[in-house]
Structure 1
Amino acid sequence: VDRGVTLSEALLKHDKWLENKGIKNTNFAVVTWSNWDCRVMLESECRYKKICKPPYFNHWINLKVPFREVFGGVRCNLKEAVELAGLDWQGRAHCGLDDARNTARLLALLMHRGFKFSITNSLMWQSADPLLAWNQAPGHLSAPPYYPQKPKDLHISQFQFNHPYCFCGVKSTKGIVRKPGPKQGAVFFGCGNWTLATGARCHYFEWVTP
């Protein structure tokens, strides 16, 4: 940690690495173990430090989901999952680099078994302020001050809705509740593969409006 770079430098280096490897403009996904890294930690840290992060961190694959599908719904931590899969844990648990390497090894094993991956989670609320758009130039890494608020406290007109990805790995479908009742007029996101004939292919559902 003492020899590490700042978060803004790390994001720039990572983005440049993706570009140099020819990955940046392809159909790729960030893979994590749990939703904490992208949904909470990275998002809140970037907001707090007024750092703009690349948009590809806004949707990701939580490896816990496919792991449980393959191994019968077992609940465990990353180290236990690696060992349950028949791999030897390498490095120190909860060390960021070692955790990332072991997550990659577990991912490779599931890929080798033929598992078909799709996006499992995404951030629903994205600021519409153009200053928050990702820009690689260091001079544009600042963002307007962020004041923590829950989505229900935010006025809808202040935000644009970037469709999150459903569990099928495609952009979700936006719908409006038309049935009379307390939720009439409320907006929601559902399975992107929903059709009138077949219904939804996955159980993804998320309210947009409170």
Structure 2
Amino acid sequence: MDIILPLVLIIVAYLLGSISTAIVASKLFNFADPRLNGSKNPGTTNVLRLGGKLAAAFTLLGDLLKGLIPVVIAKSLGLSDNWIVIVAIAAFLGHLFPLYYGFKGGKGVATAMGIFIGINPLVGLVVLATWASAAFAFNISSLAALIACLLAPFFFHLVTQSAAFGIGLLVITAFIYWKHIPNIQNMLMGTENKISKK
């Protein structure tokens, strides 16, 4: 296959991933910049605290689509698993290191969920259900994300038998854990923010 098409899609995926849905939401719903307030993370959980449920739903959907759309396009074009994974990682890195915001982005969980659903909708929904179950059980968004993302590469490898997907999603999981180091430290000290007060 001509290498030009995959390379163009990789660039487009990164540029799409670089759009911060949380910042767009803060302007549309008129609340404080999530990069400067709350946890200072431009992600769904911080938007929920700052702007409410509707703004959080908007942010979640936007971040999911940033991961989902490039993967679906790559699959529809018949790209190999290797190229699909590279396109997915480009979109993911766009969220983490956005071109438009000084390469300072979010932690990538929702975008990763979009990638998971794009690669295999059934397995992606299993990962999403894992997150939801852990969030309900522990009431800590970051812990739920870490649990779901840790299991995701193994779920995908078991179902798809694709080494590319297994390795690629391990890379995404490693970045998510790296971005969550402060959250892990807070959890160890018992100071991590809850999703809601019980």
TM over 0.5: no
Pick 1 or 2: higher relative contact order, CA cutoff 8 A, min separation 6.
2
TM-score, reference length from structure 2: 0.30
Which of the pair has more CA radius of gyration? 1
Higher percent of residues as strand: 1
